[in-house]
Amino acid sequence: MMKRRSLVFIAILFILLSGCNNDAEANESDEHAGKSFNRESVESHIYYPLTGLQANLEPTNRIVSVMVNNHPAARPQTGLSKADIVFEILAEGQTTRFLAMFHSEVPEVVGPVRSARPYYFNLANDYNALYVYHGAANFIEDMLRAGAADHLNGAYYDNDGNLFKRESFRVAPHNSYLQFNAVADVAINQGYQMEASYQSLDFLTAEEISELQGEAATDISLMYGQESVRYLYDEPAEKYLRFSAGQQTIELTDETPIQLDNVFIIETTHQVVDQEGRREVDLQSGGNALLLQKGQLQRIQWENQGGRLIPVREGEPVGLVPGQTWVNVIPTDPGLSGVTGLE
């Protein structure tokens, strides 16, 4: 009888121990599952370096920068709504051109595309971006061929139907359009690397954005010669709308408006260097700047840090609102004193 009771006790003890082990294994499994979930959550916090917006996967594509025509006959343009950053700088006379940098989004078409200038391709090279343009003066083309920047010149692919296409609804030189999906293959065939990693720009957290302070800046205008550029703050969208000479900057195909999270206005010296009116523009020395974000304006400075044009205060980077940025580079005469709509 005692032997039978002992056997029963041992059996019950074995069942209890097995249950404990199963519970421990289950708890360990739950714990591991929790860690796995948390690890995946952390890994999902990947951001595009030029916008600060979240990405699903670590971006490995190289930035592609495109010289976009801003002659009145070239408006509205195509593809600008997908650019992470657009730099607007004077070319000849009082007409600006855009250097549009594409990384987080890939448009199907960009254009019209125009010719190269040194301060644009130097800027592209400093950002480790492929530089795409259409045409160049011989001495400028020589600089690029000598290695000033990795580049694709549309003049060699003019209307090939693959990389560039001449559209019939506009006349040359305002009708050359980049077919963006062909860029990587053509660039690789030219021996260029189309994978890259980038250090992120400085971006504000949600809490920092909620604490932004500055002057009211809801309707700001500046002048390039006789032509105005205006930024109107769209309060419901919390973004800036852009206008050239009174016309809103939109996409040609579907009239999507250009909506900006940061407008960065910098002043620097410009010098005309030839009879055609080409310029040298100082993008190295730094100087005074304005930064428009969320309907507010900060009076700060700009610096070239590692080739990037950065908003700073007392040498420290000023954070950007995650999203798209437009950089207006204006001559020091009249400089920021010519910007209207300030308090």
Give the model confidence (pLDDT) of 97-139 as tens digits. 999 999 999 999 999 999 999 999 999 999 999 999 999 999 9
Burial call 107-126: b when 16+ CB within 10 Å, e when fewer = beebbbbbbbbbbbbbbbbb
Same structural domain for residues 94 and 148? Answer: yes
Same structural domain for residues 144 and 225? Answer: no
278: how many CB neighbours lie within 10 A of its CB? Answer: 16
Task: Tell me which of 160, 189, 218 is where a domain ends.
Answer: 189
> How many separate domains does the chain show?
2
Same structural domain for residues 183 and 256? Answer: no
The average pLDDT across 16-34 equals 42
State the Cα–Cα distance between residues 106 and 87, nearest whole angstrom: 18
Does 134 fall in a domain?
yes
Could you tell me which residue, 201 or 342, shows the higher pLDDT? 201
Task: Tell me which of 129, 162, 189 is where a domain ends.
Answer: 189
Same structural domain for residues 138 and 214? Answer: no
Q: What is the reported pLDDT for 27?
A: 44
Q: What is the reported pLDDT for 20?
A: 43
> Does residue 50 carry a pLDDT above 80?
yes
**325 is in which domain, residue-wise?**
206-338
- 280 DSSP β-pair partners: 271
Same structural domain for residues 212 and 174? Answer: no
Does 242 fall in a domain?
yes
The domain spanning residue 235 has which CATH number? Answer: 3.50.90.10
Q: What is the reported pLDDT for 29?
A: 39
Long-range CB contacts for residues 152-157, cutoff 8 Å, separation at least 24: 152/183, 152/186, 152/187, 152/190, 153/116, 154/113, 154/178, 157/186
What would the pLDDT profile of 198-227 be if each residue is shown by its tens digit? 999 999 999 999 999 999 999 999 999 889
Task: Tell me which of 162, 189, 216 is where a domain ends.
Answer: 189
What would the pLDDT profile of 281-316 be if each residue is shown by its tens digit? 999 999 999 999 999 999 999 999 999 999 999 999
Cβ neighbors of 339 (< 8 A, separation 6 or more) are 220, 221, 222, 265, 290
What would the pLDDT profile of 56-108 be if each residue is shown by its tens digit? 999 999 999 999 999 999 999 999 999 999 999 999 888 899 999 999 999 99
Q: Which residue has the tokens 């996409």?
A: 251
Q: What is the reported pLDDT for 343?
A: 72
Same structural domain for residues 216 and 129? Answer: no
Does 102 fall in a domain?
yes
Same structural domain for residues 66 and 169? Answer: yes
Low-confidence winner among 200-204, 226-230, 273-277 (lowest mean pLDDT): 273-277
> Does residue 7 carry a pLDDT above 50?
no
**At 44, is the pLDDT very low, low, confident or very high (cuts 50, 70, 90)?**
low
Does 41 fall in a domain?
no
Does 43 fall in a domain?
no
Q: What is the reported pLDDT for 115?
A: 96
Does 30 fall in a domain?
no
Dmax over Cα atoms in the chain, in whole Å? 117
Percent of the chain with pLDDT over 70: 87
Does 155 fall in a domain?
yes
Does 146 fall in a domain?
yes
